[in-house]
Every structure is written in structure tokens, then in C-alpha cells.
A and B are shown apart, each in its own frame.
Chain A
Amino acid sequence: MTIAELAALIEAENQTPSLPIDRTVSCGYTCDLLSWVMAHGEEGMAWVTVQTHMNVVAVAVLADMACVIMPENIDMPKESIDKAADEGLVILKSPLTAYAICGRMAAQGIPEKAE
């Protein structure tokens, strides 16, 4: 599944419209403890988190993730979005809860770990 298809699946808005959204999502994850995510992040991951600060972008970029998803229409501050756009990291904003987002991703066959 591509980021574009994922965005449609979870009714998300792309917060970084300047970036391409044809990259394939390899797996899904949700966690708000950044140091935990550092240990479990994977290439191509779609990561759901309520954290919005700059370090979220740093973690996702270093792990070469596909995108970060903000649940429940949480707004990421502009400085974080600008940083993400500069680094080529797509940020999606969905009205669904983290639980519902992960439920839809799992139902569509997005695995826990990249294959």
C-alpha cells in the first residue's frame, strides 16, 4: 500500500503536500515513547503518535520511515511540519483515533514488521 492509499484509508489530510506520496508503506506502529520507537522503528514504517515536537521528525527520518500519522486531528506545529517537509518525511493528519487507524491498517494487511 502506498502513502496515498493509506491516507485515503484513514481519511487523512497530507500536511506535507510538497512531497511525493507514492512510497510503499512497509509496516505500521503506534507508540508515544520516542526512545521506544528508536528501538523498534523500521524502514518504510507508518508511525502513529500524538507527539508533535521536532524530535518526532528526527526519529522518523533517522529510521527512514514512510510517514508519521497524527491521530484525532492533532495539529503538528508548523516548525515540525516544515522540518519534515525539508527532510522528505510525509506527515498525515487523521480524524480517527490511534486505535482505529491501526485497526484499519491491520485489516488491510499492513504488517507489524517490514518484510
Chain B
Amino acid sequence: MSFIHAEYPVASGDYTRAGEASADIKRRLKQLGVSSMVLRRVSVASYEVELNLVIHSLGGQLILDVDQDGVRLTSEDVGPGIPDISLAMREGWSTANEEARSLGFGAGMGLPNMKRNADDFEIESEIGKGTRISMRFALT
């Protein structure tokens, strides 16, 4: 049984709205009584993945599911896909553009930071099709 299911479309390059999905996810989980420790980890990971959609994707969505097994965050986009996932997972590696860098993003911390905060982290990507990231967070 899913307690919460929510989908948030995220537009490519929309920096002014970046973070709104993550803020709503945080609010919903707080209302559910999720502990502040878990809340913080989910918030960091969801903001990182939301920013990745804004910075790198051609558009996509963030999906929140909460059930008795915990919180699941899924990010799906429509491209362009990641050529080398192991390189993208390396701390400090970034392909962010000048606009993203001027705002203080693109330190190459996003994917490693998601992996560090989630209990389970899966990423798959296909060039020309898109990237899917799935993260699970235990509630205790």
C-alpha cells in the first residue's frame, strides 16, 4: 500500500523554480512524521536530483512514493543520457554549463551526494533515451 504518490514535472533550465518539488516533498514527509534525520537525507538527495534534471536533462519528472518500506524517489528524464556513468559518479566530475556554474552549481557532487544519502541507489542511462535514478530511504 502506498501512503503517498506524487509526481513533479521538472523543466530543463528552469533555475527559478528549481527546488520547489524538493520543498513540497519535504513538507509532505514532515506531515507524515518522518524523522528529521531521514527528512534531511531525503531533502538533500531530492534537491540534488531535481537540480540535475534542471541542469542536465531535456526535461523529466521526479516521483515520490512512500509506503511501509520507506521513501522512494525516482527521477526519469527524456535525455540526453549519460555516456559514462562511472565517470559521472566520480566526485568532482561535472559537465554543467556556464549558467549552472555561475549560480554555484556544477561542483560534481550531485550523484555521489545522492548515493551517500540514500540507503539504495540505482542509476541507468541510455544515450538518446534518458536517465532513470531510483533511491530508497528506510524510515528508521
The CA of A62 and the CA of B16, in the complex, are separated in Å by 16
Q: Are A87 and B40 in contact (CB under 8 A)?
A: no
Asked, given contacts A38-B48, A39-B113, A63-B40, whether A54 binds B107 with beta carbons under 8 Å apart, the answer is no
The CA of A15 and the CA of B16, in the complex, are separated in Å by 21
Asked, given contacts A43-B36, A63-B40, whether A35 binds B105 with beta carbons under 8 Å apart, the answer is yes
Q: Are B109 and A59 in contact (CB under 8 A)?
A: no
Q: Which of B72-127 contact A (CB under 8 A)?
A: 103-110, 113, 116
**Minimum distance in angstroms from A50 CB to a CB of chain B:** 9
Asked, given contacts A43-B36, A55-B19, whether A62 binds B26 with beta carbons under 8 Å apart, the answer is yes
**Minimum distance in angstroms from B127 CB to a CB of chain A:** 24
**Minimum distance in angstroms from A88 CB to a CB of chain B:** 12
Residue-wise interface mask of A (62-82) relative to B, using a CB-CB cutoff of 8 A (1 in contact, 0 not):
111000000000000000000
Q: Are A58 and B103 in contact (CB under 8 A)?
A: no
Point out residues on A near B: beta carbons under 8 Å.
Answer: 32-39, 41, 43, 49, 51, 53-56, 58-59, 61-64, 87
Q: Are B103 and A43 in contact (CB under 8 A)?
A: no
Point out residues on B near A: beta carbons under 8 Å.
Answer: 15-16, 18-19, 22-23, 26, 36, 40, 43-44, 46-48, 51, 103-110, 113, 116
Q: Are B44 and A58 in contact (CB under 8 A)?
A: no
- In the complex, 12 of the A-B residue pairs with CB atoms within 8 angstroms, ordered by the A residue number, are A34-B103, A35-B51, A35-B107, A35-B110, A39-B44, A51-B103, A51-B104, A54-B16, A58-B47, A62-B26, A63-B40, A64-B43
The CA of A99 and the CA of B123, in the complex, are separated in Å by 40
Determine the residue in chain A with the shortest Cβ distance to B113.
A39
Contacts of B36 in A (CB 8 A): 43, 64
The CA of A56 and the CA of B19, in the complex, are separated in Å by 10
Determine the residue in chain B with the shortest Cβ distance to A51.
B104
Contacts of A32 in B (CB 8 A): 104
A38 partner, pick from B16, B23, B26, B44, beta carbons under 8 A: B44
The CA of A35 and the CA of B51, in the complex, are separated in Å by 9
Q: Are B103 and A38 in contact (CB under 8 A)?
A: no
**Minimum distance in angstroms from A87 CB to a CB of chain B:** 7
Asked, given contacts A39-B109, A63-B40, whether A58 binds B23 with beta carbons under 8 Å apart, the answer is yes
Determine the residue in chain A with the shortest Cβ distance to B18.
A55
Q: Are B19 and A34 in contact (CB under 8 A)?
A: no
Q: Are A62 and B44 in contact (CB under 8 A)?
A: yes
